[in-house]
Amino acid sequence: MIYIYQGVALLEINELKQIVEALLIATPEPLTEARFNTCLGDSDSKIPLKEIIGELASDYEKSGRAFFIKEVAGGYQIVTNAEYESYIKGLFSKSGKLRLSQAALETLAIVSYRQPVTRNDIESIRGVSSDSSLRTLLDRKLLEIRGREDGPGRALLYRTSTEFLQYFGLNSVKDLPRLKEVEDILAEDDNELV
Amino acid sequence: MKNQLHRIDLEMFEGPLDLLLFLIKRDELNIYDIPIAQITKDFLEYVDLAKELKLHSAGDFVLMAATLMKIKARMLLPIEANGDDEIEDPRTELMNMLLEYKRYKEATSTFSEMERFERPHYYHVPATWSPQQEDNTAILEDVKLYDIMLTFQYLIKNYEEPATHSVAVEEVTLSEQVGFLNGLLQAKAKLSFADLLEKFESRLVVVVTFLAILEMLRNRQVKVKQSKLFDDLHISRGSTFGN
C-alpha cells in the first residue's frame, strides 16, 4: 500500500514502518498521533499511526523480539518483555523498581479518582496526615501540582501525571476500573453478615 | 509480650479509619449500626498504645478517639423530639467517612495489582542527550512549581547568614522586592537566583525575594528557567514585564 505524504512524496508502508520505528526508539515520552504528525511536518497527515503500529507490533512478535509496543498514556512506547526483568535490574543501582507503600497507594487512588484535589481533601478521606506520601508521589513524578483552588487559602491542587499512566500501564485515567459505589460495598457487607 | 503484638498490629494500620474498619470486620459489626460503646473501648486501647509508642500519626488517633466519645455521649442523651424534624443518628457522619474511606482502600488493591503487573516492564528511554543546545538554560522550559520550590529549598540550605550582632528589625516587603527585581531586570535581561542570594544579608530577605519572584511569575512579569533540577534559577522578563 502507498500513502500520500505532503501531497507529493509517496511513502510505502515499509518506509513508514521504519519512520515510526525510529520515532519509537528516540521518543522520550509516549508517541501520540499528534506528535507523529508534527514529526512528519503535516498536522493532518491522514496516515493511520495505529495501523502502522499494528504492523510493526506483529513484525516484532513474529521475529521474537525481547520488547513490544505498548499503548500507554494516549500514545505508544517500546517496553521490554517481563521475562527479562531479572537481567535488566542489574543495570540499575537500586534493586529494580521500588514499590509504593500502602499509604502512597491510598493517596494515589484518591487523587486519581477525584482529581484535581487538595491535600485537605485527601486527608479528610484518609483521616491521617498525608504529607509524606504526597511528597513521595511528587518526587517520583506520579503526581503533579496543577494550579490552586479558587477558594480561601488557595490550596494547591494535585493531579496524576503522564508518568502515573506509564507506571500503571494505563492509556488514560478513564481506563481505571470504576470505583465501587457505596451501595456495592453495603451489599457485600450484608452478604458477609448473612 | 502483649504490647509487642499490638505494636506490630498498630503499625499495620494506615490511620484511625483503617483501624475502625479492622475492628468492624474482626468483630463482625454492622457498619450502619455500629455499637459505639464497644468500639470506643477497643479503639481507646489502641490509642493508648499509639501515644505510648509516639507513633507519627498518634494525633490522628487521639482526634478520632475524641470523636467517638462525643458520639457516645450524644447517644446517651435523651432525644428531644422537636416537631417533625427527623432526628439524625449521631453516627451517620462517621459511617459515611468509613464507607468513603473503604471505597478508596479497596481501590488500592487494584493499583497494587497493576503495579505488580507493570513492574517487570521497562520503558525504552533514550539517553538525555540534547543536540546543539546553544543555551543550556532553555532545556527545561516548563519548570513546574514543585521544581522551583525544591530548588529554593536546596539553595537556601546552603545559604549562611553572616554572623552579626545587631538587633535592628529589618523591614522588607513583598512590593519592595518586586520593585527591586523590576529595577534589576530593566538593567539586565537575565538574573541568576544564586547571584541574588549572595547580595542578601538575611534569610528573611531571601524568602521575601523568592515570594516576589513567585508573585511576578504568576503575573507573567518574569519567566523562570532552569537547566536541571536543583540547578540555579534563571529569571528573565516575562510577557507583561514593565506594564
Q: Shortest Cα distance from B234 to chain A (angstroms)?
A: 21
Task: Please report, for the domain that includes residue A35, its CATH number.
Answer: 1.10.10.10
Do A10 and A67 fall into the same domain?
yes
Cβ pair B7, B49 in contact under 8 A: yes
Q: Give the number of other Cβ atoms within 10 Å of residue B15's Cβ.
A: 20
Could you read off the pLDDT of A95-154 as tens digits, one per residue? 556 788 889 999 999 999 998 999 999 999 998 888 889 998 998 889 999 888 887 778
Do A145 and A188 fall into the same domain?
yes
User: Which of A66, A90, A114 is the C-terminal boundary of a domain?
Assistant: A90
Domain ranges in chain B are 2-77+90-107, 136-160+171-237
Residues of B in contact with A21 (CB under 8 A): none
Check residues A111 and A1 and name the one with the higher pLDDT.
A111
Do A12 and A40 fall into the same domain?
yes
Could you read off the pLDDT of A8-37 as tens digits, one per residue? 455 677 888 899 999 998 888 899 998 898
Q: Domain for residue A184, yes or no?
A: yes
- In sequence order, the β-bridge partners of residue A80 are A67
For residue A32, the enclosing domain spans 2-90
Confidence of residue B55 (pLDDT cuts 50, 70, 90): low
Q: Does B17 touch chain A (CB under 8 A)?
A: yes
Q: What is the pLDDT of residue A2?
A: 55
Confidence of residue A89 (pLDDT cuts 50, 70, 90): confident
Q: What is the pLDDT of residue B4?
A: 47
Confidence of residue B129 (pLDDT cuts 50, 70, 90): very low
| Candidates A56, A106, A120, partner chain B, best to mutate (most B CBs within 10 A) | A106
Do A79 and A108 fall into the same domain?
no
User: Which of A68, A90, A112 is the C-terminal boundary of a domain?
Assistant: A90
Q: What is the pLDDT of residue B162?
A: 57
Q: Domain for residue A97, yes or no?
A: no
Q: Domain for residue A169, yes or no?
A: yes
Q: Which residue of B has its CA nearest to A86?
A: B120
Q: What is the pLDDT of residue A61?
A: 92
Q: Which residue of A has its CA nearest to B97?
A: A125
Q: Report chain B's mean pLDDT, rounded to a whole number.
A: 77
Residues of A in contact with B60 (CB under 8 A): 127-129
Do A187 and A121 fall into the same domain?
yes
Do A39 and A16 fall into the same domain?
yes
Q: At what angle do helices B36-52 and B16-26 cross, to 10 degrees?
A: 130
Check residues B18 and B154 and name the one with the higher pLDDT.
B18
Check residues A76 and A139 and name the one with the higher pLDDT.
A76
Provide the CATH number for the domain formed by B136-160+171-237 in this structure.
1.10.10.580
Residues of B in contact with A28 (CB under 8 A): 125-126, 128
User: Which of A90, A112, A147 is the C-terminal boundary of a domain?
Assistant: A90
How many structural domains are present in chain A? Answer: 2
Weakest-pLDDT range from A1-5, A190-194, B106-110, B156-160: A190-194
What sign does the CA torsion over A81, A84, A86, A90 have?
negative
Do A86 and A115 fall into the same domain?
no
Interchain pair B14, A126: CB under 8 A:
yes
Residues of B in contact with A78 (CB under 8 A): 123-124
Interchain pair B122, A79: CB under 8 A:
yes
Do A152 and A123 fall into the same domain?
yes
Confidence of residue B213 (pLDDT cuts 50, 70, 90): confident
Do A84 and A59 fall into the same domain?
yes
Q: Which ipTM score applies to this complex?
A: 0.72
Q: Where are the beta strands (DSSP E) in B55-201?
A: 190-192
In one-letter notation, the amino acid at residue B61 is F
Confidence of residue B167 (pLDDT cuts 50, 70, 90): low
Weakest-pLDDT range from A45-49, A51-55, A78-82, A166-170: A45-49
Percent of chain B with pLDDT over 90: 7
Q: What is the pLDDT of residue A3?
A: 58
Interchain pair A125, B101: CB under 8 A:
yes
Q: Report chain A's mean pLDDT, rounded to a whole number.
A: 83
Confidence of residue B237 (pLDDT cuts 50, 70, 90): confident
Comparing CB atoms, the residue among A97, A126, A182 nearest residue B17 is: A126
Residue B37 has pLDDT above 60, yes or no: yes
Q: Does B73 touch chain A (CB under 8 A)?
A: no
Interchain pair B120, A70: CB under 8 A:
no
* C-alpha closest to that of A166 among B71, B164, B121: B121
Q: What is the pLDDT of residue A57?
A: 94
Query: Quick one: B241 exposed, middle or buried, by C-beta within 10 A (0-12, 13-18, 19+)?
Result: middle
Q: What is the pLDDT of residue B26?
A: 86
- Chain B 109-148, residues with CB within 8 Å of chain A CB atoms: 110-112, 114-115, 117-126, 128, 144-146
Provide mean pLDDT across the span A63-91. Answer: 89
* C-alpha closest to that of A147 among B152, B174, B146, B221: B146
Q: Does B192 touch chain A (CB under 8 A)?
A: no
Q: Does B157 touch chain A (CB under 8 A)?
A: no
Weakest-pLDDT range from A6-15, A35-44, A53-62, A78-87: A6-15
Q: Domain for residue A170, yes or no?
A: yes
Residue B103 has pLDDT above 50, yes or no: yes
Residue B202 has pLDDT above 80, yes or no: no
Q: What is the pLDDT of residue A70?
A: 92
Do A85 and A135 fall into the same domain?
no
Do A83 and A106 fall into the same domain?
no
Q: Shortest Cα distance from B57 to chain A (angstroms)?
A: 7
* C-alpha closest to that of A179 among A91, A107, A109: A109
Q: What is the pLDDT of residue B2?
A: 45
Do A61 and A131 fall into the same domain?
no
